[in-house]
Amino acid sequence: MSFQRKDLLGIEDLSPEEIIFILDTAKSFREILERPIKMVPTLRGKTVANLFFEPSTRTRLSFELAEKRLNADALSFSSVGSSVAKGETLLDTAKNILAMKVDCFVLRHVSPGAPHLLARELDVSVINAGDGAHEHPTQALLDLYTIRERKGRIKGLKMAIVGDITNSRVARSNIWGMGKLGAEVRVCGPPTLIPPDIEKMGVKVSYSLEEALEGVDVIMMLRIQKERQKGSLPPSLDEYREFFSLTEERLDLAREDALVMHPGPVNRGVELPARIADGRKSIILDQVTNGVAVRMAILYLLLGRRR
Amino acid sequence: MALLIQGGRVMDPASGRNEILDILIEGGRIREIARHVPGRSRKIINASGKVVSPGFIDLHTHLRQPGREDEETIETGSRAAARGGFTTICAMPNTEPPIDDPSLVEFVYDEARRCALVQVLPIATISRGRRGEDLSPMGRLRRAGAVGFSDDGDWVSNSGLMRSALEYVKMLSLPLISHCEDKTLTQEGVMNEGYYSTTLGLRGIPKEAEEVAIFRDLVLLGMTGSWLHVAHLSTSRGVELVREAKKEGLKVTSEVTPHHFTLTHKEVRSFNTNTKMRPPLREEEDVAAVGQGLKDGTIDIIATDHAPHTVEEKEVDYISAPFGIIGLETALGLVIKELVEKGTLSLMEALAKLTVNPARILGMSIGRIEEGARADLTIFDPEKTWKVEEEEFLSKSTNSPFIGWELPGKVEWTITGGKVVYQSRK
């Protein structure tokens, strides 16, 4: 098995073998993070440009750290105060940065397909760091990595993804990834936040959190994205909490060894009470740690070897 | 100078004539149609092996002038029309400013007289400023030469206003054209709502946005006893609603675009912004339904909804890109490839939907081949295939999802008012 792609744009078009290959590669990078000197020379002389056209803390820092740990040079760019405000187009911005000779773009953008546009037009690797509500492949890969680390397998597991499915790229990427590796996925949320025909992605839909949690191995809570709602918000956050917050009683419906995950940032007290976010079943911080290793693996697979 | 079209297969849907004939043109009109017209001292077009059809009529063209001359002008749009075999195009009024005043109707005519290669007929707005609040001066717009009314791009969501428009238009004998789309359902949508909008994370435009709007318009049509033309049908139930209304005897006509009988929402997976238009590309069942609608006559005409946008506007991310694609230059090819070759329509039936049927909706005597008629003719080779190349477009814009396609049906000559306005180079 090898990984021959120029870009990482989504999980939908990856094969199960490619996913496993990335996860296995990440394992050796995860080990580096435990060393006293957390750096390898793998990408020395390579330059990665992180283009963030949407606010992000976790993903951006995680990519920057992954790049530094691999000895790559990292440029970071956010749309606030940039030439985007002066009307420069995405493609133009990218072409200008490419003219300074970079090897890879990491792109976060509000519009689905924005990384695909760069990947199609530019002869350089592009990593999708989240494109609108479409995909967030590195997040799904780090989630898969973390689940596999804890459970030893993905196949046969039951996972519930709870919250604003319509606006969640994390949900979509996880649905593809978990499905490809043989897990059963349920999505749960108010009907106004479940997109049409999602059953065709191979998931079960439930509007009842109690029903969705019954016997699951993994619970992924999503943030209610206040900033993205347009008319489809639940009537109020209080009402949302009443129906969809992961309380202790509800958590008891899942398997005893169930894992609680969240892609962050958590709305503490809305979808997830603090006691559970910080509780023994929560692996939220493991997700964050593993994120660096998974991103190192992806950068290595795209840039570190001759294609 | 007289022009003789020799040996072509004359196909005239209005009369049903379908035989090899010569056509003599003099003074901009068809002088003689006969088995053999002597060719001496005349310019001759050898049309043997070609079809001679009435010039095509597009009821739905966006020429962008005034206001967006960077996208298209009356001149460039008319050139694209000529290349596509269209000899008459109806200019939609959603320009800047919108065509809601007689002086603006006159502007379109003046500009067309100055530089257009084909006949350009302005459609005026239903409401002043296309704001959907009060009626434009429809009577005076008609006197200035408007051939129909539409707030295209926007549905007249105010039911009271739409009722008034339907009533008022009865004294003007002009078609009222409705862009059926309830914007409270469309919201921020950029593609068909369904499986692919879900996987792509793009906001959906439900089919119900069209269906709800058609239903309301038909209810008001029944109430007023007026007539209505439904623009660019895209949904299976939309077709069904129009079919039922026709059965009940309502005076409703409808159109479909080539892209809606050809492509589905699957195309959006490429994130090619030339798959973004309103109404959006729908599903297989809808493509089948508009095909059936064309076959059984529910859908009277094929119209392009030619909507030019610059490369700069379209070479952006999917959400930011404007809606619309060009269509004049690929229409015939798609009609033959998707409808005639697949057996939905005979070539004669297809030509009717491009010629005499739109003429009837306009209430004009164009779109037919008969002695004494204005010599608007399209001569094409139904067998010859050609490749859609970006550089070849005569439109000022190139926003087509069909670039790279091989299409049958090459327009060889387009003749408007007896003058050759387009001649294929190859």
User: Which CATH number fits the domain that encloses residue A54?
Assistant: 3.40.50.1370
* Contact between chains at A195 and B204 (C-beta distance less than 8 A): yes
Q: CA torsion B59→B65→B69→B75, rounded to 10°?
A: 70
Residue A149 in any domain: the answer is yes
Which of B134, B305, B317, B381 is catalytic? The answer is B305
- Tell whether residue B381 is among the known ligand binding residues: no
Average pLDDT value over all residues in chain B:
97
Q: Does A90 touch chain B (CB under 8 A)?
A: yes
Q: Rg of the Cα trace of chain A?
A: 19
Say if residues B377 and B22 touch (Cβ distance below 8 Å). no
Which residues of B make CB contacts under 8 Å with A?
Answer: 187-188, 193-195, 197-202, 204, 271, 312, 315-320
Asked if A121 and A186 sit in the same domain, the reply is: no
Q: Does A117 sit within 8 Å of B320, measured CB to CB?
A: no
Domain co-membership, A36 together with A52: yes
**pLDDT band, very low/low/confident/very high, at B426 (cuts 50, 70, 90):** low
At residue A198, the pLDDT reads 98
Which residues of chain B lie closer than 8 angstroms to A111, CB-CB?
Answer: 317-320
Which stretch of DSSP H or E encloses residue B361?
helix B356-362
A-chain CB neighbours of B311 within 8 Å are none
If asked whether residues A144 and A273 sit together in one domain, one would say yes
Partners of residue B198 in chain A, C-beta under 8 Å? 195-198, 200-201
Structure tokens at B249: 């005897």
Q: What are the tens digits of pLDDT across the range B19-31? A: 999 999 999 999 9
pTM flag (> 0.90) = yes
* CB within 8 Å of chain B, chain A residues 172-191: 172
Short-list B239, B197, B189, B196, CA closest to B218: B239
Domain that holds residue A131: 7-136+288-304
Contact criterion met (CB < 8 Å) for B199 and A113:
no
Looking at the partner chain, which of B194, B312, B319 has a beta carbon nearest the beta carbon of A197?
B194
pLDDT at A86: 58
Q: Return the structure tokens found at B119.
A: 């006949």
B-facing residues of A in 197-256 (CB < 8 A) are 197-198, 200-201, 230-231
Q: Is the pLDDT of residue A232 over 60?
A: no
pLDDT band at residue A224 using 50, 70 and 90 as cut-offs = confident
**Residue with token string 């010569």:** B22
The pLDDT assigned to B425 comes to 83
CB atoms within 10 A of CB B215: 17
Beta-sheet pairing, B227-230 with B176-178: parallel
A117 and B195 within 8 Å at the Cβ level: the answer is: no
Q: In whole angstroms, give the CA distance from residue A191 to residue B164.
A: 39
B134 is catalytic: no
Q: Where are the beta strands (DSSP E) in B204-265?
A: 204-205, 227-230, 251-256
- A250/chain B closest Cα distance in angstroms: 28
- Taking one residue from A and the other from B, the number of pairs with CB-CB distance under 8 angstroms is 64
Does residue A41 lie in a domain region?
Answer: yes
Nearest to A21, CA basis, from A45, A41, A38, A4: A4
Euclidean distance between CA atoms B336 and A306, whole angstroms: 48
- Give the pLDDT confidence score for residue A238 in this predicted structure: 86
Please indicate, yes or no, whether residues A258 and A159 belong to a single structural domain of this protein. Answer: yes
Does residue A28 sit in the same domain as residue A100? yes
In chain A, which residue's Cα lies nearest the Cα of B191?
A: A112
Q: In this prediction, what percent of chain B has a pLDDT beyond 90?
A: 98
Peptide bond just before B66 cis, omega within 30 deg: yes
Instruction: Tell whether A122 is within 8 A of chain B (Cβ).
Output: no
Q: Is the pLDDT reported for residue B229 higher than 70?
A: yes
Q: Are residues A47 and A182 in the same domain?
A: no
pLDDT tens per residue, range B248-280:
999 999 999 999 999 999 999 999 999 999 999
Q: Of the ranges B40-44, B210-214, B299-303, which one carries the lowest mean pLDDT score?
A: B40-44
- Give the pLDDT score at B42: 82
Looking at chain B, the whole-number percentage of residues with pLDDT higher than 70 is 100
A85 DSSP β-pair partners: none
Q: Is residue A1 in some structural domain?
A: no
Indicate whether A207 and A221 sit together in one domain.
yes
Q: What letters, b where the CB count within 10 A reaches 16 and e where it falls short, cover A92-121?
A: ebbeebbeeebbbbbbbbbbbbbbbbbbee
Tokens 């005239």 sit on residue:
B12
pLDDT band at A2 (very low <50, low <70, confident <90, very high): confident
Closest by Cβ to B200, choosing from A89, A134, A231: A134
Q: Residue A289: phi, psi to the nearest 5?
A: -60, -50
Measured CA to CA, the distance from residue A228 to residue A132 in angstroms comes to 10
Q: Please name which of B49, B43, B34, B51 lies closest in space to residue B85, comparing C-alpha atoms.
A: B51
A26 inside domain: yes
The architecture that CATH gives domain B54-362 is Alpha-Beta Barrel (3.20)
**Is A250 inside any structural domain?**
yes
Residue A30 and residue A112 in one domain: yes
The residue among A36, A26, A2, A9 whose CA lies nearest residue A146 is A26
Tally of domains in chain A = 2
In whole angstroms, give the CA distance from residue A281 to residue A275.
10
Residues A108 and A183 reside in one and the same domain: no
pLDDT at residue A100 greater than cutoff 80: yes
Which residue has 């691999």 as its token pair? A70
DSSP symbol at B338: I
Percent of chain A with pLDDT over 90: 84
Q: For A107-159, write each residue's pLDDT tens digit.
A: 999 999 999 999 999 999 999 999 999 999 999 999 999 999 999 999 999 99
What pLDDT does residue A83 have? 53
Closest CB to A231 among B187, B200, B320: B187
A132–B319: do the CB atoms touch at under 8 Å? yes
Phi, psi of B420 (to 5 degrees): -75, 115
Cα B377 to Cα A289: distance, rounded to the nearest angstrom: 71
Q: Where are the domains of chain B?
A: 3-51+374-384+407-423, 54-362
Q: Which of A112, A230, A231 sits opposite B202 (nearest CB)?
A: A112
**Residue bearing the bigger pLDDT, A228 or A26:** A26
Residue B245 in this model has a pLDDT that exceeds 90: yes
Helix (H, G, I), strand (E, B) or coil at B416: strand
| Residue range B3-51+374-384+407-423 in CATH 2.30.40.10 | yes
- Residue B172 to residue B147: CA distance in whole angstroms: 10
Work out the minimum CA distance from A201 to partner chain B, whole angstroms.
8
DSSP state of B281: P
> Is the domain of A264 the same as that of A149?
yes
Instruction: Give the C-alpha separation, A179 to A153, whole Å.
Output: 13
State whether A201 and B271 contact (CB < 8 Å).
no
Judge whether A248 lies within some domain: yes
A159, A177: one domain: yes
Comparing C-alpha atoms, which of B84, B75, B89, B145 is closest to residue B117?
A: B75
